Structure 1
Amino acid sequence: MSSVNTTIQLITRSQAEKQAAQLVGTPGRAQESCDEDLAKGPWEFDLAEALAGTPGYGPGASNEDTAPPATPVQGQLPQEYKDASDADLKSRIVAAKAELGERVVVLGHFYQRDEVLEFADFVGDSFQLANAAKNRSEAEAIVFCGVHFMAETADMLSGAHQSVILPNLAAGCSMADMADLPSVEACWAELAALYGTEPDDDGRVPVIPVTYMNSSAALKAFCGEHGGIVCTSSNAATVLEWAYERGQRVLFFPDQHLGRNTAKAMGIPVEHMPLWNPRLPLGGNSAHAMDEAQVILWQGFCSVHKRFTVAQIEQARIDFPGVRVVVHPECPMEVVDAADEAGSTDYILKAIQGAPDGSTFAIGTEINMVNRLAAQYPQHTIFCLDPVICPCSTMYRIHPGYLAWVLEGLLRGEVLNQITVPEANAVNSRVALERMLAAKPRQARAVAPQ
């Protein structure tokens, strides 16, 4: 099976119709790309953003996603890397890694394109990669093939002698940008005025802040400073239980869907989960709704997982009777409710690994991971719920050309694209992250169809 990148290239050349079956693995389920510009080199968008003076998330991003002015932008990649063939880039990366040896470790997220991930020393979700960064103390440099907030986390958890590198600075996260420190601080002040700050008779404070890993170091520091914690999709339920032992209610940001789906699975009524709009007083809620609140959900979402729909699940069940539908908990609640199961990327992987041969899976998560799973487990039929190929637009901005560039920079003694979190943020962020790492994920709950 060809990679997502190869498939997009072929789609762009109008070859998808006759080749979709063998490229994607399931006839008729993926014959178009959400944006033909995905076939271009990411450096074309680095240049366009630099010329316009406006950062962006790249082709394939939702029209609803507007990058804040402070979003990092990538300088120009040297021409030799733009002009290099795939084979040349591969040989240069292999040679650089061989010469650098244990001085460098390459970490890769499940959603990364195959052409980059093949060079990763460790592949995982954000929770696993955070642990990997913490435990690779022998490496002088950690090259993080993920997105900006992941590299920030690696910098905070790694040693002072280590440098963390993000191959393309424009690899950000629109969800992470949906919650910023001033907005969260303003929300916190409103909640303090509403609920007070004194603990109840059981010693539980009025509100515990919980930030998803997909957030800036500044927000992780906010949680550390205010008695809160970080969570990932792997350990969100464990983290919420931790929070309720210490607080009467939770402020959960930036992803409303992960918060809602996790809390609902724990038995918390949806009507006790008001959605907080940072542009409105009391987040756009009534005083009564806030009095009843158990989880206050920030108005954020993942553009990739927002693409999945109940209609796609219904169509999958028509096309493949007996299909097992597994989705990521960043999907909207109605999609999670309609699926057979919901869980993190690691949960999805383990579900496929443990299934009897001949199983059929419809997966609701990022297409690079789904495509890779279909190739790795040919004994199953595995396809993405969304019939349109649309990878994570920011993760996709890391290309082998950037990886070769930063690795060869290390050979010359240059640390390119280093990610450094100011110590003022890092101190409190580490507090929240260490709490997260101590909250070991348990087996994810299956979500029954409703």
Structure 2
Amino acid sequence: MTTTHSSVDLTLRDISAGTTTGSSCSTELLDAPWDVDARDPGYGPGASMADPIPAAAPRQGEIPQEYRDASAEELDRRIRAAKAELGDRAVVLGHFYQRDEVIQYADHVGDSFQLATAATARTEAEAIIFCGVHFMAETADLLSGPDQAVILPNLAAGCSMADMADIDQVEECWEQLMEVYGGETPGVDGRMPVIPVTYMNSSADIKGFVGRHGGIVCTSSNASTVLEWAFERGQRVLFFPDQHLGRNTAKAMGISLDEMPMWNPGRPLGGNDEQTLHDAKVVLWHGFCSVHKRFTTAQIDTARAEHPGVRVIVHPECPMPVVDAADESGSTDYIRRAIEGAAEPTTFAIGTEINLVQRLAAQHPQHTIFCLDPVVCPCSTMYRIHPGYLAWALESLLDGEVINRISVGEDVAEPARAALERMLAAKPAPDSAAPASSVTPGPGSAPASSTAAER
């Protein structure tokens, strides 16, 4: 496939019109998000479209007709006018995986933790408009001031990976593990039987659970540092919701696959026997990212055959054989900085979300950059955010109305913040790809530094 622009939306339209070669995973990606919202519950077209969605997952109600009918040019005018009138009262955050048509309005661009951290630096903002997914907006609410409103433009922008570990399942898992391990009593070495570790890509409820049980949050860039922290305090780790990040990180630390049983929620002891759980070092939750699950070793083989000397970099949410076959693996921000740090023209094959890959290719024309997956299949839920929703959120603020506010109750927020604070205290060593990470400023914005990079 040959693309001439960074916009995945335009690429999909070119494929549909036959003006470029290639294929997509769903023709419904061309449908307006509000039409997708009106259908039966689901994550929407894209990588997560086959994932079952919880019955209680938030749904987006109908937005005013004027935003559905507006042309791209009218939405552009209205968004820019609203941002100018609101000034410092509102800040727009855009995740790396967001479509270009939204990213162009972001004051800061980054991964979810970088953006939540950037929000804490904007203390003058009354409203934080998070163009990402639900768990990211929750994290921003946890870390922002009590008088700041966090807005998710489309409530249907969830995350299937985060939904794969709900609080009831995790509580049941913990009860069963406590029966096997004899409760939350330190052993003779002073370490607890098990320490819970949750990936940033999880709900506030899960972060709160971890905080209450002496656990910690991790990102994809500091997962090994966090696991080391956990092993200093516990004999084992319960890692959720992403099995692949847990497995890849633990394997790199020298833990054998035999010591990493999978916990399948809904099965007694997660489908294991007691001896297996006693012998475990890391109990992996049966969860995954549907975007990164699409990448395969066959795709890497093809890239190497067609592009001798190609540098293959994948995200650690990819399956273990893919990470093993790649030249490097690292967080979204690691990938971005690796490309920025390449002094000579290089061919990169990247295993992460297509919106970021195409944007990097457009930003670095001296390199050849392409996505390992030849099928255009963006993150289903990131793609639910559209300029029409952003215009609605901004103009509602001008009218004195806060729509789609994401708020975490203090009973959950207090222990969740404790788990996040433990993560902040567990500093990873700088990786070797490039200088320390930072949030990328959006158009006309000053950079805001971040202490950790993740998805």
The TM-score normalised by the length of structure 1 is 0.93
Aligned to 2:138: 152
- One-letter amino acid of the structure 2 residue matched with residue 187 of structure 1: C
Q: Does 1:143 align with 2:129?
A: yes
CA RMSD between the two structures: 1.2
Matches within 5 A, 1:108-127: 108-127=94-113
- Given the alignment of the two structures, is residue 181 of structure 1 paired with residue 167 of structure 2, yes or no? yes
Rounded Cα–Cα distance in structure 2 between residues aligned with 1:193 and 1:295: 17
Offset, 1:442: 2.7
Please say if residues 177 and 215 of structure 1, whose CA atoms lie closer than 8 Å, have aligned partners that are also in contact: yes
Runs (4+) off by over 3 Å: 61-64, 443-446
**1:311 corresponds to:** 298
- The worse-fitting range, judged by mean Cα deviation, of 171-180 and 352-361 is 352-361
Query: Contact between 2:42 and 2:49, CA under 8 Å: does it hold in 1?
Result: no
Shift of 1:444: 4.2
CA distance in 2, matches of 1:7, 1:220: 37
Offset at residue 16 of structure 1 (A):
2.4
Which residue identity is paired with 2:25? C
Counterpart for residue 7 of structure 1:
11
CA contact 1:265–1:445 (8 Å) conserved in 2? no
- Counterpart Cα distance in 1 of 2:78 and 2:270: 52
What SS class does the counterpart of residue 371 from structure 1 fall into? helix
Contact 1:126 1:232 survives alignment (8 Å): no
Instruction: Provide the C-alpha distance between the structure 2 equivalents of 1:62 and 1:117, rounded to a whole number of angstroms.
Output: 21
Which amino acid in structure 1 is aligned with residue 138 of structure 2? Answer: E
1:80 aligned onto 2:71 = no
Alpha-carbon displacement from aligned partner over 1:224-274 (angstroms, at most 9, x marks no partner): 000001111121111111111111110000000000001111111111000
Are 1:392 and 2:392 counterparts?
Answer: no
Paired residue for 1:219, among 206, 226, 248? 206
CA distance in 1, matches of 2:227, 2:122: 29
- Structure 1 match to 2:38: 47
Whole-Å separation in 2 of the counterparts to 1:441 and 1:57: 33
CA contact (8 A) 1:127 1:234 kept: no
Contact 1:248 1:294 in 2 (8 A): yes
> For 1:346, what is the secondary structure of its paired residue?
helix
CA contact (8 A) 1:343 1:444 kept: no
Q: What letter matches 1:45 in structure 2? A: V
Deviation at 1:445, TM superposition (A): 7.8
Return the match for 2:177 from 191, 210, 214.
191
**Greater shift after overlay, 196-205 or 392-401?**
196-205
Equivalent position amino acid for 2:245 in 1: L
Q: Find 2:88's aligned residue among 72, 83, 102.
A: 102
In the TM superposition, residue 56 of structure 1 has moved relative to its aligned partner by: 1.0
Q: Give 1:320's aligned residue.
A: 307
- Alignment partner, residue 439 of structure 2: none
Native 8 Å contact 2:113 2:136 kept in 1? no
Distance of 2:205 and 2:338 partners within structure 1: 35
2:405 counterpart SS class: coil
- The separation in 1 between residues aligned to 2:48 and 2:38, in whole angstroms, is 20
Does 2:277 align with 1:290?
Answer: yes
Matched, 1:347 2:347: no
Once the two structures are TM-superposed, the CA of residue 63 in structure 1 deviates from its matched residue by: 5.2
Partner of 1:405: 392
Report the alpha carbon displacement of residue 356 of structure 1 after superposing the two structures with TM: 2.3
The TM-score, its normalising length taken from structure 2, stands at 0.92
Consecutive unaligned residues of structure 1, counting only runs of 5 or more, are: 18-30, 50-54
Aligned length: 428
1:26 maps to none
Pairing 1:163–2:149 present? yes
Counterparts of 2:205 and 2:402, CA distance in 1: 24
Q: 5+ residue gaps in structure 2?
A: 434-455
